Amino acid sequence: MAQKLQGNAKLAKQKKIKTDQDDLTTLYRDMLLIRRFEEKAGQLYGMGQIAGFCHLYIGQEAVVVGMRHAMVEGDQMITSYRDHGHMLACGMSPRGVMAELTGRIGGYSKGKGGSMHMFSVEKKFYGGHGIVGAQVPIGAGLGFANKYLGNNAVSLAFFGDGAANQGQVYETFNMAELWDLPVIFVIENNQYAMGTSVERSSAETELYKRGISFGIEGVQVDGMNVLAVREAGLKAIKHARDGKGPMILEMKTYRYRGHSMSDPAKYRTRDEVKEMRGERDPIDAVKSRLLDEKWADLDSLKAIDKEIKEIVADSAEFALESPEPDPSELYTDVLVEV
Amino acid sequence: MARMNMIEAIRSAMDVKMSQDPDVLVFGEDVGFFGGVFRCTAGLQETHGLHRCFDTPISEGGIMGIAIGMAAAGLRPIAEIQFADYIYPGYDQIASEAARLRYRSNGEFTAPLTIRTPVGGGIYGGQTHSQSPEALFTHISGLKTIIPSNPYDAKGLLITAIEDNDPVLFLEPKRLYNGPFYGDPHAPAVNWSGHDLGEVPEGHYRVEFEKARKIADGDDLTILTYGTMVWVAQAAVNDLEVSADILDLRSLLPLDLESIAESVKKTGRCVILHEATKTSGFGAELMAQVQEHCFYSLEAPIERVTGWDTPYPHAQEWAYFPGPIRVKTAIRKVLEG
Ligand SMILES: Cc1ncc(C[n+]2csc(CCOP(=O)(O)OP(=O)(O)O)c2C)c(N)n1
Ligand SMILES: [Mg+2]
C-alpha cells in the first residue's frame, strides 16, 4: 500500500502546470460544487430522505472537472452509477439531480431512475448506469455515431478500476481501435471496487496498460490534480478528434467515503483515508495554489463557499418540496408513446 | 436445532457442504474477504481457507464460465452473483453451456454447479437491484431453478442444490433474508427468530426439489406463489379470513405439478402471485399448467397478481410491488367468479 500512495506522490511531483486566476478559480468552484453537493446528499441520506443506493464522488472531483474542461461543446459523457459529479460537471441542474436522489417528480428521471440513472440530452450526458461496465461499449457507440455523422465530437466513457475487469470492456477496446472511434476511456482508478482492492482483483494493476494488446495508447495521470487531468484530457481528446482513434487515461484517484452508503470499510485503514485526505486532496491543492499565487484570499474563498452552499441548499430544498411522481408515471416511457 | 435467519441458514448450508466435501468451493465478487454484501459467505474464508472461498474480479461472464469448467472437471462450485440483476453478462454461459453440457455430451460431461443470487425488490434498489428474472431461466431446459421463502427451506434446498448433479440456479429473495415480509413496508420489520421456519437444524439435511410446501390449508381457493410473495399471500388470506391453500412452490423447475393439481381440483379456484413482470412471467406457465391439468375443476378464471410490465422504478417501488391490496382484490375476484 505504501507503494500505492508513493505512486501517486510521484505523479503529483510533476511540473507546475500553467493556469491563471480565472481559470483556476473556475476549476476550484466546479470541484467545490461537487464536494458540497455530495456532502449534502450524504446528509439527506442519513436523514432518510434518500433511499436505496447512493454512491458519493467525494475525493474524485478533479477527474471529472479536469476532463470536463478539456471537452468542448458537443462532446459527450457517459459513466457508471457514481454519477452525481459528472452531471454537475456537465452543467446539469443541482436541483434536478438532488430531486432524483429523493425520488421526486422534479428529478431528471422523474424519480424513477434514482441516484444511478439520470440523463440529459441537452447537456450530452448519457447516464448514469447501474451495471458495472455496461456504459463502456455504449460510450464507444456514441463515438461511432460521431464518426459516422461527421460531427467532430468525442465521447468520454468513464469507468472504475473494478469495471476494467469486465469482458465487454475488452470487446470494446478492440472495436474502438479497429474502427478508430473518437472515444476516450477514462478509468477512474480509486483503488477499490467495493471492498476489493485493485491488487486483489487485477493481474495487471497498471490499468493504463490494458489497451496495449489492442494498440491503444494509455497514459497514467494524477487524478488528484485537476490541472494534470485537464492537460492529459486535452491531449487525448485532440488525438481522438484528429481521427487517430481511442486513448485510455488511467486516473489515479481515491474515494473518501464508503462504496455506497452502507460500507463497513474493513478493507482499508483509517490512516490510509486520512493520509489521502490530508495530503492529496484535489480541492485543498487548488486552494493552496490560489492563495500562494495571491489569486484569492481567505475572504474571497469564503465568498465562493457561501455561494456554493446556497446553490446546494436550494437544490436540497427543491428536492424535498418536489412532489412524488404520480402513479400514472409508472407506465410512462416504457416504450415510445403514440 | 438453532435459530437462524435466511442469511445464516444459507451460510450454514455452504459451511456443512464445504466441511463434508473438499470439492465444494465458494466464490464471487466480495464473497471472501468481505463475506458477501448480504453477509451470506461471512466466515467461510476463515474456516475453509482462501483456496476454497475467494473473491473474483467483476467479471460475471468469466465467473460463470469458469464455474462450469470446474464443474465439468469434477468440482462442485458455488458461484455467487451479487445481485440477480448482474447475471446477464453470464447468461450466455448459463444458457448455452451449463444447461446443455449433459445433453450435448450424451451425459459424459455434466455441470454440477450452484449459482446463488439475490432477487426481488423491497430495498429501494431501483431497476438494477430489484429484478426477479426467474422466467428467463425456467425457460431453459437443462437447468433447475429454486427459490426458497424461509430459512429452513433455504438451507435444505441449498444443500440439495449443491449435491445435485446438474446446474441449479438458487434465487434468494433478498427482502426475506432477515425476516418474513408481509407486504407493508411501513409496518415494523419482523425477524425470523419468532417464526417456526427460523428453526433450523445445524447439521446436514435435504429439502427435496419438485415438492411444494403448503403454507396454509383451505378449501375455497388455491394460491400458487413463491419467494417474497408467499408471506404477502399469507397476510392477505389472514386479513380476508378466507380458507385457502397457499402453495409455496420453492422449486420452479422441476415443478410439483402433483400438489398443484391436487389443490386446484379441490378448491376449483386459483390465484397466482409473483413479483416479476406479468408478460411471459412464470405465472403464465403456471396458468397454462393449471388449465391443462385442472380445466374441468375450475369454477372461475384464474387470476394473476404480478409486478407491472415496467422496469422496477426507484421512487414508486411500492406502487410496483404486488402488495396486499392487489392480492386481496384478486382473491375476492376469483371467489366471486
Ligand atoms: C455487472 C455488475 N456486477 C456487479 C455489480 C455490483 N457492483 C456495483 S459497484 C461495484 C464495484 C465497482 O467498482 P469500480 O468499477 O472500481 O467503481 P467505483 O465504485 O470504485 O467507482 C460492484 C461490484 C454491478 N453493479 N454490476
Ligand atoms: Mg473503484
pLDDT at A6: 46
On chain B, the residues whose CB falls within 8 A of the CB of A113 are 126-127, 314
- The band of A8, judged by pLDDT with boundaries at 50, 70 and 90, is low
C-alpha distances out from residue A237 to A157, A168, A243, Å: 12, 23, 10
pLDDT tens sequence across A81-120: 999 999 999 999 999 999 999 999 999 999 999 999 999 9
User: In what order do the strands lie in the sheet containing B24-28?
Assistant: B53-55, B24-28, B76-80, B114-119, B168-173, B144-146, B251-253
- The band of A15, judged by pLDDT with boundaries at 50, 70 and 90, is low
Is-contact B184 B194, C-beta < 8 A? no
pLDDT at A14: 52
For residue A184, report the phi and psi dihedrals to the nearest 5 degrees: -110, 130
pLDDT at A263: 85
Nearest CA in chain A to B62: A167
Residue of B86, B91, B131 to test ligand 1 pocket, by largest number of atoms within 8 Å of CB: B86
* Top CATH class, B213-336: alpha beta
Continuous segment of H or E residues that includes residue B45? helix B44-48
Alpha carbons B72 and A242: distance in angstroms, whole number:
49
Q: Which residues pair with B214 in a beta bridge?
A: B247
Cα angle value B142/B148/B153 (rounded, 5°): 110
Is-contact A112 B315, C-beta < 8 A? yes
Taking CB atoms and an 8 Å limit, are A116 and B57 in contact across chains?
A: no
Whether residue A4 has pLDDT greater than 90: no
Taking CB atoms and an 8 Å limit, are B308 and A117 in contact across chains?
A: no
Taking CB atoms and an 8 Å limit, are B316 and A195 in contact across chains?
A: no
Quick one: average pLDDT of A134-150? 98
Alpha carbons A282 and A8: distance in angstroms, whole number:
12
Distance of residue A320 Cα from the nearest chain B Cα, in angstroms: 13
Give the mutation candidate from A101, A136, A165 for the B interface (greatest B CB count, under 10 A).
Answer: A165
As given in the structure block, the three cell numbers for residue B199 are 428453526
Residue ranges per structural domain of chain B:
2-200, 213-336
Residue of A38, A136, A194 to test ligand 1 pocket, by largest number of atoms within 8 Å of CB: A194
Residue ranges per structural domain of chain A:
19-318
Please state whether the peptide bond connecting residue B301 to the residue before it is cis, i.e. omega within 30 degrees of 0.
no
B279 in A contact zone (CB under 8 Å):
no
On chain B, the residues whose CB falls within 8 A of the CB of A107 are 315
Task: Give the residue from B173, B174, B165 showing the smallest Cα distance to B148.
Answer: B173
Continuous segment of H or E residues that includes residue A156? strand A155-160
Whether residue A2 has pLDDT greater than 70: no
Quick one: average pLDDT of A141-146? 98
pLDDT at A336: 83
pLDDT at B244: 98
Task: Give the residue from B252, B117, B246, B273 showing the smallest Cα distance to B183.
Answer: B273
Q: Residue A160 C-alpha to ligand 2 middle, in angstroms?
A: 5
Taking CB atoms and an 8 Å limit, are A202 and B57 in contact across chains?
A: yes
Task: Give the residue from A153, A159, A34 showing the smallest Cα distance to A89.
Answer: A34
pLDDT, mean over chain A: 95
pLDDT tens sequence across A258-289: 999 888 888 999 999 999 999 999 999 999 99
Below-70 pLDDT ranges, chain B: none
Taking CB atoms and an 8 Å limit, are B58 and A195 in contact across chains?
A: no
Q: Residue A194 C-alpha to ligand 2 middle, in angstroms?
A: 7
Question: Which is it for the CA torsion B254, B167, B81, B137, positive or negative?
Answer: negative
pLDDT at A9: 55
Quick one: average pLDDT of A237-260? 97
Q: Residue A162 C-alpha to ligand 1 middle, in angstroms?
A: 6
- How many CB atoms are located within 10 Å of the residue A213 CB? 11
- Homologous superfamily of domain range B2-200: Thiamin diphosphate (ThDP)-binding fold, Pyr/PP domains (3.40.50.970)
B57 in A contact zone (CB under 8 Å):
yes
Quick one: average pLDDT of A33-60? 97
pLDDT at A71: 98
Alpha carbons B227 and B236: distance in angstroms, whole number:
15
Q: Which of A69-73, A77-81, A265-269 has the lowest mean pLDDT?
A: A265-269
Length of chain A, in residues: 338
- Homologous superfamily of domain range A19-318: Thiamin diphosphate (ThDP)-binding fold, Pyr/PP domains (3.40.50.970)
Whether residue A338 has pLDDT greater than 80: no
Could you tell me if the CB of A35 is within 6 A of ligand 1? no
As given in the structure block, the three cell numbers for residue B337 are 367468479
Whether residue A172 has pLDDT greater than 60: yes
pLDDT at A10: 57
pLDDT tens sequence across B10-19: 999 999 999 9
pLDDT at A1: 39
Taking only residues 61 to 80 of chain B, the set having a beta carbon closer than 8 angstroms to any beta carbon of chain A reads: 61-62
Residue A250 CB-density burial (10 A; 0-12 exposed, 13-18 middle, 19+ buried): buried
Alpha carbons B225 and B244: distance in angstroms, whole number:
13
pLDDT at A3: 43
Could you tell me if the CB of A84 is within 6 A of ligand 1? no
Share of chain B above pLDDT 70, in %: 100
Whether residue A43 has pLDDT greater than 70: yes
Strand, helix or coil for residue B172: strand
pLDDT at A119: 97
On chain B, the residues whose CB falls within 8 A of the CB of A201 are 55-58
Reported ipTM: the value is 0.94
Taking CB atoms and an 8 Å limit, are A194 and B308 in contact across chains?
A: no
pLDDT at A12: 56
Residue A279 CB-density burial (10 A; 0-12 exposed, 13-18 middle, 19+ buried): middle
Alpha carbons A96 and A76: distance in angstroms, whole number:
19
